[in-house]
Structure 1
Amino acid sequence: MHVKPALSALHRVTASGARLARGWSGSPRATDALTALGCLGLTAIDLPGLAAADNSLTGASAAVVLALGCATLLVRRRMPWISYLAALLFIGWLHELTLIQFALYSVGRYRGRRAGVLATLGYLAFALFLFCCVPGWPEAKHESLSGFLGIVVPIGVLASAVGIAAYRHDLVAELNERRAEAAVLQAVQQERTSVARDVHDFVGRELTLLTVRSEVLSVRSRETSYAKDFEELADTARRAHLVLNEIIVQRGERASTPGVEGLAALAEESGRAGSPVRLAMDPEVNGLSPLRQAAVYRVVQECLTNAAKHAGGETVEVSIAADGPRLRIAVSNALPARTPGRAPVSAGSGTASMSERVRSLGGTLTATRTEDSYEVVATLPRG
């Protein structure tokens, strides 16, 4: 019987194929193609023996048959059972054990533990049947059962076990990725809720003032033709306030986001936490609408939080300036020399929430990281 390289060869070929594929195009199809070529290369080692001893195939026909069998690995992600059946055919006809290693790995990797165990048991049962019931398969009758099983069992069990382990690793990686996506979505949703609360507080206050003022004017002009118009204006403002309350039903106990008047306290708090702040703010910023001031506060707040996490001790430069019809917010800080195990500056859910706040007001936000600095720049329309 032709004894193929054990699972270490399989794993090396598969891993090296995966690395080459990532370097080439990062495409799963490229990985599968390189895996199929690796399997063909291993089976080609036995090409002379297949043509000479195991069957009536010539060298050319044996090469074609082996190539067709290895080509089934091109669909191993969607249909790994095709490779598995082809591998069983190779075992019974060509006495070839290389493809079954790749096939069992693929079944375990892309169909999970249950399928991998069933495929392994089927392979072992089929091999045992050939050993016991098929005459001359191939030199098995000249070997002991323990010697035969010492070849067949490790090939199947180890290949399937590695595939199942890779399947579990893929599940964990996908779970972590989805958790990260969920964290970003949750941050965006929380920021939208915060914006809605701010809209309710700021706009609701203005609608209340409009209602009261209209009612006062209605009373003062009771004897004139404008009284009815003021009463209708007061009713309209009151209805708008009611609609606003109905749209934003979950206000909770959270207060509205502070405006630019809260930046000094924010900078002082950051300094106490170990990240001193240099705050430069154009006086015209105080005339912005409450929603825009809240956006400025949120951007600076999140940037100072990031600086405390990733650049503790470094001075944070905060600049808020009116640039024509737009407002520019720039927050930057130096990055300390990265030490082993130190997490780099990230653009995770906090950046997503900042971007959502800025986009809700028609602005833009960019976060740029270099080797020694990190900067966030947001622009907002002043209107």
Structure 2
Amino acid sequence: MHPKPVAPALQSVTAAVRRIAGSRAGSPRVLDALTAGGCLALMALDLPGLAAADNSLNGPTAALVLAAGAATLLVRRGLPWLSFAVALLFIGWLHELTLVQFALYSVGRYRGRRAGILATAGYIAFCLALFHVPGWPLDHARTLSSFLGLVVPIGVLASAVGIAAYRQDLVRELDARRAESAVLQAVQHERTSVARDVHDFVGRELTLLTVRSEVLSLRARETAYAKDFEELADTARRAHLVLNEIIVQRGEPAATPGAHGLPALAEQSGRAGSPVRLDVDPAVHALSPLRQAAVYRVVQECLTNAAKHARGETVDVRISADGPQLRITVGNGLPPHAPGRAPVSAGSGTASMAERVRSLGGTLTATRTDRRYEVVATLPCPG
């Protein structure tokens, strides 16, 4: 038998594989290929004496057999039991323990705790049965000591590492699903907020149109235009009813404030520990209510982020409406040292802001450097 303390080597090879893979470590095929290559490299350490020790293979044939066994790791995600079966064959035929460690890790990693425990128990039972076969190997006392001190521990360790990685994968997937759900909820909430603002702003204009049409209809009762004004008032009322049916409100809060609410927002942020330098183009106050609401939401979310991640840093808010575009720029410095305890954040604020801006045909980008965080949003400004 060729017992080598390769359980630590397995961890070293795995770490080396991840370093070599670099930015492509997320590619399953690349990682599997590097894993198979690492396993083959470890097994190749036995290649010079393998044929002599087992009296069954010559050098080139042994190399091909080992390469074929390592190649089963290429399909370890979908067929981890294949590598496990070949690894048991290698133990009985070549007395080679390297592949079984990779196989046990793969079973635990991609099939979970129960499969990992089952594979480990099968591996230990198989080795124990082999040790009681007459003539395999010759020195039973030495091999029993090796069995208890090496064979069992490396199998349990490899399987345990795989099961732990499996659990980490589950936790990461759960965190990703939660983050995705939080972003979707934030986007949906922002869409509801936009719809509510549309209802409030457009509904108010339709109400004014209805009232004005009715007034004109009364004034023109004795003229030929009276009927036209009445039809216009009826059309405005029907449009308002349709708007109410499409966007149903049940006790929701008032519409999002516009540009007039920015000074109060900046004052509130200053009291919370994040002073604000506010520079608002007067032309912003002449924009449509929906665009002013978008300005308010972007600035509000940026100030919230600054309070969470850069408390005490001054926030620069600049809003300009020159030309065909409205531009919102909010930036703040970042503290040199991260806070001792991370703030509670779902990470959905940027998605919420972006949804509001996209609903009006604009764009939003968030840029982070070592010392500064900046959000730039642009909206079309129709004349």
* TM-score, normalising length: structure 2: 0.92
Structure 1 residues 135-144 or 110-119, which shifts more? 135-144
Q: Tell me which residue corresponds to 1:191.
A: 190
Aligned to 2:273, the other structure's residue is in SS state coil
Deviation of 1:330 after TM superposition, in Å, equals 1.6
Matches within 5 A, 1:208-357: 208-339=207-338, 341=340, 348-357=347-356
Per-residue CA distance 1:259-293 (angstroms, 9 max, x = gap): 11111111111121122222222222111111111
Deviation of 1:162 after TM superposition, in Å, equals 0.8
Q: Tell me which residue corresponds to 1:126.
A: 126
2:355 maps to amino acid: E
Per-residue CA distance 1:79-123 (angstroms, 9 max, x = gap): 111111110111111121111010000010111111111111222
Structure 1 distance, partners of 2:25, 2:11, is 21
Query: Judging changes above 3 Å, is the alpha-carbon distance between structure 1 residues 150 and 371 closer, same or farther for their aligned structure 2 residues?
Result: closer
Say yes or no: does 1:28 pair with 2:28. yes
Deviation of 1:338 after TM superposition, in Å, equals 2.6
Please give the root-mean-square deviation of Cα atoms over the aligned residues, in Å: 2.2
Structure 2 distance, partners of 1:109, 1:25, is 16
Structure 1 distance, partners of 2:150, 2:3, is 7
Q: Any conservation in 1 of the 2:182–2:346 contact (CA below 8 Å)?
A: no
Structure 2 distance, partners of 1:165, 1:25, is 19
Query: Judging changes above 3 Å, is the alpha-carbon distance between structure 1 residues 49 and 302 closer, same or farther for their aligned structure 2 residues?
Result: same
Structure 1 distance, partners of 2:216, 2:261, is 36
Deviation of 1:205 after TM superposition, in Å, equals 0.9
Deviation of 1:179 after TM superposition, in Å, equals 1.7
Structure 2 distance, partners of 1:369, 1:294, is 25
Structure 1 distance, partners of 2:245, 2:76, is 54
Q: Tell me which residue corresponds to 2:4.
A: 4
Structure 1 residues 107-116 or 16-25, which shifts more? 16-25
Structure 1 distance, partners of 2:333, 2:153, is 55
Say yes or no: does 1:85 pair with 2:94. no
- Structure 1 portions without partners, runs of 5+: none
1:90 maps to amino acid: F
Structure 1 distance, partners of 2:25, 2:109, is 21
- Structure 2 portions without partners, runs of 5+: none
1:202 maps to amino acid: F
Structure 2 distance, partners of 1:113, 1:313, is 47
Aligned sequence identity (%): 78
Deviation of 1:146 after TM superposition, in Å, equals 5.7
Query: Judging changes above 3 Å, is the alpha-carbon distance between structure 1 residues 328 and 23 closer, same or farther for their aligned structure 2 residues?
Result: closer
Matches within 5 A, 1:28-47: 28-47=28-47
Aligned to 2:257, the other structure's residue is in SS state coil
Deviation of 1:26 after TM superposition, in Å, equals 4.3
Aligned to 1:317, the other structure's residue is in SS state strand
Q: Tell me which residue corresponds to 1:14.
A: 14
Q: Tell me which residue corresponds to 1:159.
A: 158
Structure 1 residues 368-377 or 352-361, which shifts more? 368-377
Per-residue CA distance 1:142-201 (angstroms, 9 max, x = gap): 546465343332122111111000110111112112222222222111111111110111
Matches within 5 A, 1:61-100: 61-100=61-100
1:338 maps to amino acid: H
* TM-score, normalising length: structure 1: 0.92
2:376 maps to amino acid: V
Aligned to 2:317, the other structure's residue is in SS state strand
Aligned to 1:367, the other structure's residue is in SS state strand
Q: Any conservation in 2 of the 1:39–1:98 contact (CA below 8 Å)?
A: yes
Deviation of 1:76 after TM superposition, in Å, equals 0.9
